[in-house]
Each structure stands twice: as structure tokens, then as C-alpha cells.
């Protein structure tokens, strides 16, 4: 069992797993890691369940002390990590001796880093998940972002030793670099837009604006004309939806989105590509590429199968 | 009689099932009937379901259930909606302290309609409201049934902080804010009840299909109910 004490908080750092499902009918957003790829890989490297709770760190990482010897991994965006002043690699199982201090120099690539520990973080399961829901103030560490002085404990490691240095093969590393391409399935409200608007959406580049958080990303770029009314009777919001309010600029809905909404959705980002949105920062450029539903399902099956393969390789 | 049901892919991991075109109690009842059949006999691979006014969003894992299979399972249940046995609606009373500092817009709403504040309270508390859906934010009920003569335009500039428990009117809707949030609805009162408390055995006070009545209470009752909630450990009483 390990303990990690936060010395200074940095940017927004929250405990996240793969999300809280079953309560969207009451308005609870699933939350969960915005970049689920990086969460899963960090856990698999450590021999954890892919959905074990990790620390999602945004932009500026925290400074933290390991109070016990701990196996850990850093995945996702590159926040410039070092341990007692020595630079650390991402996507690799690392070992911290008791008393060593993890710190981050600043953002080099992507936006969100994940700190996974062997065993996963031991926070109470609330309504079936350890994810922090900042809106409802529940889950994770006391329902809030971490602050200096908080001390997270970890579950006992599943694979306590002999895995230091295990890493993801470089060919499997995601790039997390602008320009991004996100594949989408058009709809469910494609009919609310003119044919030209759908064409514009697929042929243009969009820029990520500073209006970005765990709820969603607002883009700027060519506006999309609605064919008629923009009023939709409020309905469930799927993860990855690109909703287009009256102004005509798309907003991508992420893990902590509102459960229902009344804006027409021109398209939804595929489950296989959405994790990349978790690494986008203001100024990044994105294009959207339409695929058929069948193609998207094939992509999703490969995406999920890749974690199974990784698990098998790591043994 | 049943309207045509339409299916729309909402990306590769969600299917939108539309059961009607408008906001009406019968369409919403059919939404809840389908939800109940899905709860009773779950479909493998369905991870979550979001019922709303006239549709369900079915969140599924296409690595477990393919789209054709899912649609077939949904059609089976749609063919048996009559077999859903929706319980008689629960009537949930929301004790509400109207006006004053708890309902700073009551006077405005009254003036707007040429009524006295007492008449507004009588009309609002005289209504019976259907919870069409709970969502947007945790525990927020979308209520139908506001008397037409109380429909009031929203604020031009939303408040940055609406206190938890605020009972409000926004356009033709009325509702209760479960959390302190920004909001543009007209605040006419406040309830000491907590609409959402993760520590309770039933964390959410309201569910789709419930009926709601607002019951006017005095300031003394408000404080007593708030104290009760705190002493039972039911919440902060904010």
C-alpha cells in the first residue's frame, strides 16, 4: 500500500476512472478520464484493472511526495515530469522510493497527464465509480480537485515487483499533436443543417478555443447554418457529440457534459478517436472526417481489442 | 394508438429512440414504459439509458452488442409497451417558503401578470406538475403543468449564483435548483428539501413520472425542516 501526499496542487487534478454509469437518468454525468486511452494504458502497464482510479492532471502538474516505495506510470500528455529533479519518461513503469518528490516542469505536449499507481488509488466508490464529479461534488477525493496537504492512499499492488521498466512499444505511442483528425458519425440531427453546412463542417479546419474543460470544447471556424429551427426538444447527450447552438459554432461534449440538452448535434466523434480530444489545448487545429456507422464500429472493436492484446503481451 | 418510433444513431455508441414528436404526458409515459422494460429485462451491452421528454438515448458497447441486434431487442420491447406496469405516480410534496429573501422575484412575477403575490402563490401551489425528466444537472427536474397565467420571461442577465433549493419559473416551465448554480429563472421561493444527497439510500428526491405539488410553508417550518435534514445527517442544509 502506498501513500502520495500533494505538496502543491498545480492545475486541476482529479481522481478519475472509466466513469459512473447508471445515473444519467437523474442528471449525473458519467465523468471519468477525458483521455480514456492513457488511463487504460497506464493501468495495464502496472498490472492494474484498466479502469483503476488514477490522477488526471491538467496543464500544470502537482508536486507530490511518495510516502512509501511506489510503482507508478505517467501517461497521456507530457507535463514535464521529474522525480527528485531527474527527468522521467512517459508510458513506462517507474519506481519511486519513499520520500522522493514528483514534480512537473510545464506542459510540453497534449494537455492532460495521468498518474497511475500500482493497485490504483484507494478512494471510496460512490454510486459505482471512483471518478470525481465536480458538479455534484461527489466521488474521487472528497468530491473535489486535489489541494496541497491531501494524501491519497493506494490499494495493494497486483504485481508488486519485477515490472519496473515495462513500457509501451514506441510504435503504439499516440502523437497528441496538432493538427488532429477526429473521425465522426454524422447525425443524429444532420437534418437540422443545410447540406452546405454539413459539407463546410467536414471540409474546414476548426481551432480549439480557451473555452475548454472536462465538460466540453468550444471551437472556432466557419459557422454552420441551421436549415430551420435550432430548437430541439431536450434529449440525452451522447459522449463525443458535436452540438451546434444558434451561433453556428460546434461544441464537443466530453466526460462531464450535461446529461440532456436542446441543441442539434451535427455529428458524434467515434469512440475510438475521442480520447485525443482530452489532449487538445487552445490553438490546436482539428478536422472532422465522416465514417459510416459500420466503419466506426469496426474502429471501436479494434480499439477495445488493442487493450486486450496489450494485457496479453504484458502478461 | 402509438406514434411511429424512429431510431437515429447518435454516434457509434448510442442509439436515439424517438417515441413521438412533442411534449405530452402520453408520449412521456411510453418513454418510461420502455425504460422500465429495459430495466426489468436488460439488454447485454447496454451501459446506460437517458429518458427525456419523448426519447431514450441508449448508451451501448458495440463490442458487446451490434446495432442490428440492439434495435431488434428494442423493437421487441416496443411491441410490448402495454405490458410495462408503471406504478401509480408518486406524489411528492415540496414544502416551499414563497417570497421575501427566499423568492426575490415573486413581486416581479406578480406585477408582470397584474396579480398579487398571494395570487401567484395560490396558482403555483395549486398546480400539479409532472416530472418529465431529471437532468441537465444532477437532480434537476423538468416539470410540466405550469398554469399558463404564470409563464414569465427569464432574466436578461442570469444570476451568477442561485441558492440550492430555489423554486423558480423560466418561461413556461417551473423547477427547483438542486445546487447553487448560475441561473436565469425567476426565483419565487425556496424549499429546505435536498433534491440530491449521495449519502441517502435514495439519493434523488425525484424521478421521471413523479407528480409534484408545492406546499406553502412558514419561515418557522422552513427552518425546522432544514434542521431536521441536518440532524438526520441528510445534508448540509444549504
- Quote the CA–CA distance of B144 and B170 in Å, as a whole number: 12
Give percent of chain B with pLDDT exceeding 70.
95
Task: Flag whether pLDDT at A244 surpasses 80.
Answer: yes
* pLDDT at residue B228, rounded to an integer: 84
Q: State how far Cα A164 lies from the chain centre.
A: 25
Mutate to test the interface with B, among A215, A233, A239 (most CBs of B within 10 A): A233
- The domain of B182 spans 91-231
A145-200 tens-digit pLDDT = 999 999 999 998 876 668 999 999 888 899 999 999 999 999 999 999 999 999 99
The answer to whether position B216 is within a domain reads: yes
Candidates B22, B134, B137; nearest CB to A25: B134
* Chain A residues lying within 8 Å of B48, measured CB to CB: 21-22, 24-25, 30
Mean pLDDT of chain A: 95
Residue ending a domain, choose from B83, B115, B139: B83
What's the CATH number where B42 sits? 3.30.1360.40
Task: Flag whether pLDDT at B231 surpasses 70.
Answer: no
Per-residue pLDDT band for A228 (boundaries 50, 70, 90) equals confident
**ipTM exceeds 0.90, yes or no:** yes
- Quote the CA–CA distance of A52 and A39 in Å, as a whole number: 8
Q: Which CATH class is domain A180-309?
A: mainly beta
B112 and B227 within one domain:
yes
B22-61 tens-digit pLDDT = 999 999 999 999 999 999 999 999 999 999 999 999 999 9
Mean pLDDT of A223-227: 95
Per-residue pLDDT band for B232 (boundaries 50, 70, 90) equals low
- Quote the CA–CA distance of A38 and A175 in Å, as a whole number: 12
- Closest-CA distance, B206 to chain A, in angstroms, reads 8
Which of A 55-84 lie inside 8 A of B, CB atoms?
none
Task: Flag whether pLDDT at B82 surpasses 60.
Answer: yes
Q: How many CB atoms lie within 10 A of CB B25?
A: 12
In B190-212, which positions are buried (b, 16+ CB within 10 angstroms) versus exposed (e)? bbbbbbbbbeeeebbbbbbbbbb
C-beta atoms of A27 and B11 within 8 A: no
Q: Are A8 and A148 in contact (CB under 8 A)?
A: yes
B183 and B71 within one domain:
no
Q: Which of A223-227, B60-64, B172-176 has the lowest mean pLDDT?
A: B172-176
* Chain A residues lying within 8 Å of B198, measured CB to CB: 126-127, 136, 138
C-beta atoms of B11 and A238 within 8 A: yes
* pLDDT at residue B235, rounded to an integer: 44
Mean pLDDT of chain B: 92
Give percent of chain A with pLDDT exceeding 90.
91
A13-42 tens-digit pLDDT = 999 999 999 999 999 999 999 999 999 999
B41 and B71 within one domain:
yes
Residue with more model confidence, B197 or A75: A75
The answer to whether position B237 is within a domain reads: no
Task: Flag whether pLDDT at B238 surpasses 60.
Answer: no
B95 and B52 within one domain:
no
The answer to whether position B101 is within a domain reads: yes
Q: Which of A44-48, A106-110, A111-115, B197-201 has the lowest mean pLDDT?
A: B197-201
Task: Flag whether pLDDT at B120 surpasses 50.
Answer: yes
Helix axes of A293-314 and A36-45: crossing angle, nearest 10 degrees: 20
What's the CATH number where B123 sits? 2.40.100.10
Per-residue pLDDT band for B180 (boundaries 50, 70, 90) equals confident
Mean pLDDT of A50-69: 97
- Closest-CA distance, A121 to chain B, in angstroms, reads 21
Domain boundaries, chain A: 3-170, 180-309
C-beta atoms of B136 and A234 within 8 A: yes
The answer to whether position B207 is within a domain reads: yes
Amino acid at each position: 500500500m502506498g501513500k502520495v501526499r500533494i505538496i502543491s496542487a498545480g492545475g486541476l487534478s482529479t481522481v478519475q476512472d472509466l466513469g459512473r454509469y447508471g445515473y444519467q437518468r437523474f442528471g449525473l454525468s458519467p465523468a471519468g478520464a477525458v483521455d480514456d486511452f492513457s488511463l487504460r494504458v497506464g493501468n495495464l502497464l502496472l498490472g492494474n484493472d484498466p479502469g483503476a482510479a488514477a490522477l488526471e492532471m491538467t496543464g500544470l502538474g502537482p508536486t507530490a511526495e511518495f510516502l512509501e516505495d511506489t510503482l507508478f506510470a505517467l501517461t497521456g500528455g507530457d507535463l514535464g515530469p521529474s522525480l527528485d529533479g531527474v527527468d522521467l519518461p512517459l508510458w513506462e513503469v517507474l519506481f519511486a522510493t519513499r520520500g522522493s518528490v514528483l514534480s512537473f516542469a510545464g506542459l510540453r505536449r497534449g494537455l492532460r497527464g495521468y498518474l497511475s499507481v500500482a493497485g490504483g488509488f484507494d478512494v471510496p466508490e460512490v454510486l459505482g465509480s471512483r471518478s470525481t464529479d465536480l458538479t455534484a461534488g461527489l466521488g474521487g477525493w472528497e468530491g473535489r480537485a486535489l489541494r496541497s496537504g491531501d494524501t491519497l492512499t493506494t490499494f495493494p499492488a497486483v504485481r508488486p515487483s519485477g515490472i519496473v521498466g515495462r513500457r509501451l512499444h514506441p510504435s503504439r505511442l499516440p502523437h497528441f499533436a496538432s493538427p488532429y483528425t477526429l473521425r465522426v458519425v454524422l447525425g443524429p440531427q444532420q437534418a437540422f443543417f443545410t447540406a452546405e453546412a454539413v459539407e463546410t463542417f467536414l471540409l474546414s479546419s476548426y481551432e480549439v478555443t480557451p473555452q475548454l474543460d472536462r465538460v466540453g470544447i468550444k471551437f472556432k471556424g466557419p459557422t454552420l447554418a441551421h436549415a430551420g429551427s435550432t430548437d430541439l426538444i431536450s434529449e440525452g447527450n451522447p459522449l463525443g457529440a458535436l452540438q451546434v447552438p444558434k451561433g453556428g459554432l460546434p461544441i464537443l461534449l466530453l466526460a462531464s457534459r450535461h446529461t440532456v440538452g436542446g441543441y442539434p448535434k451535427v455529428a458524434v466523434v467515434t469512440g475510438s478517436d475521442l480520447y485525443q480530444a482530452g489532449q487538445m489545448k487552445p490553438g490546436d487545429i482539428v478536422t472532422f472526417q465522416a465514417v459510416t456507422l459500420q466503419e466506426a464500429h469496426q474502429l471501436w472493436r479494434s480499439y477495445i481489442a488493442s487493450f486486450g492484446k496489450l494485457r496479453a503481451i504484458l502478461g | 394508438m402509438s406514434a411511429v418510433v424512429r431510431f437515429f444513431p447518435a454516434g457509434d455508441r448510442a442509439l436515439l429512440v424517438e417515441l413521438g414528436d412533442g411534449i405530452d404526458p402520453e408520449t412521456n409515459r411510453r418513454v418510461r414504459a420502455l425504460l422500465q422494460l429495459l430495466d426489468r429485462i436488460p439488454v447485454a451491452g447496454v451501459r446506460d439509458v437517458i429518458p427525456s421528454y419523448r426519447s431514450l438515448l441508449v448508451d451501448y458497447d458495440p463490442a458487446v452488442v451490434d446495432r442490428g441486434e440492439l434495435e431488434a431487442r428494442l423493437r421487441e420491447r416496443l411491441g410490448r409497451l402495454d405490458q410495462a406496469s408503471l406504478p401509480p405516480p408518486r406524489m411528492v410534496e415540496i414544502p416551499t417558503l414563497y417570497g421575501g429573501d427566499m423568492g426575490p422575484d415573486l413581486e416581479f412575477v406578480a406585477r408582470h401578470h397584474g396579480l398579487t403575490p398571494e395570487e401567484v402563490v395560490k396558482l403555483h401551489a395549486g398546480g400539479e406538475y409532472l416530472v418529465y425528466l431529471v437532468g441537465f444537472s444532477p437532480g434537476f427536474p423538468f416539470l410540466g403543468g405550469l398554469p399558463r397565467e404564470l409563464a414569465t420571461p427569464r432574466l436578461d442577465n442570469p444570476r451568477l449564483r442561485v441558492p440550492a433549493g430555489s423554486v423558480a419559473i423560466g418561461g413556461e416551465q417551473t423547477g427547483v435548483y438542486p445546487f447553487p448554480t448560475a441561473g436565469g429563472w425567476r426565483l419565487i421561493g425556496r424549499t429546505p428539501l435536498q433534491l440530491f444527497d449521495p449519502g441517502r439510500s435514495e439519493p434523488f428526491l425525484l424521478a421521471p413520472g413523479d407528480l409534484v405539488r408545492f406546499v406553502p410553508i412558514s419561515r418557522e417550518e422552513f427552518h425546522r425542516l432544514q434542521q431536521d435534514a441536518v440532524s438526520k445527517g441528510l445534508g448540509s442544509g444549504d
